[in-house]
Amino acid sequence: MSVCKDKKSMCYNEVSKIELPKIKDLRGNLSFLEEHKHIPFKINRVYWIYDVPGGEERGGHAFVNTNEFIIPLSGGFKVEVIEGEKNSNFQLDTTNHGLFIPKMTWRKITGFLSNSVCLVVTDTKHKDSEYVRDYMEYIKLLKKE
């Protein structure tokens, strides 16, 4: 994955909150995203996490070659990420703000509010071999890169 080419181009290599368009309307608001325009990859899969019991966590792994964009369709949650040696937390609770997470980022989703829906858009099909579930293995792979 290439690094940011200039200040205007979308960063492909770091976790970034991205604001999506919001078409305000008295009948209700509308937001959308288009591949390569609002998110820096081609969409191959969309999945969503919902009915999460209070106190539960999701994730706790990294993906070898999968880039993701996470949107809080309703409710809210916290995304904890580790990029190499840098830890960051992002609170997602605004429907038109999503989080871009590049491949090889360790990520965990916690603090789900009730009735939250977490939409994940990715550029790969589901494959078990994409997952790095062991944190020590993740660190080893990072050092190899």
Select the span of 16-24, 44-52, 63-71, 91-99 touching ligand TYD (CB under 6 A).
44-52
Closest distance to ligand TYD from the beta carbon of 97 (Å): 20
Closest distance to ligand TYD from the beta carbon of 32 (Å): 22
Q: How many CB atoms lie within 10 A of CB 73?
A: 13
DSSP codes of every residue in 43-102? --EEEEE--PPTT--EEEEEESS--EEEEEEES-EEEEEEETTEEEEEEE--TTEEEEE-
Task: Name which of 22 and 61 has its Cβ closer to ligand TYD.
Answer: 61
Sheet of 45-49: strands edge to edge?
Answer: 16-19, 97-101, 68-74, 117-122, 45-49
Task: Determine if 59 is a binding residue for ligand TYD (CB under 6 A).
Answer: yes
Task: Determine if 58 is a binding residue for ligand TYD (CB under 6 A).
Answer: yes
Task: Determine if 49 is a binding residue for ligand TYD (CB under 6 A).
Answer: yes
Residues that bind ligand TYD (CB under 6 A): 45, 47, 49, 58-59, 126
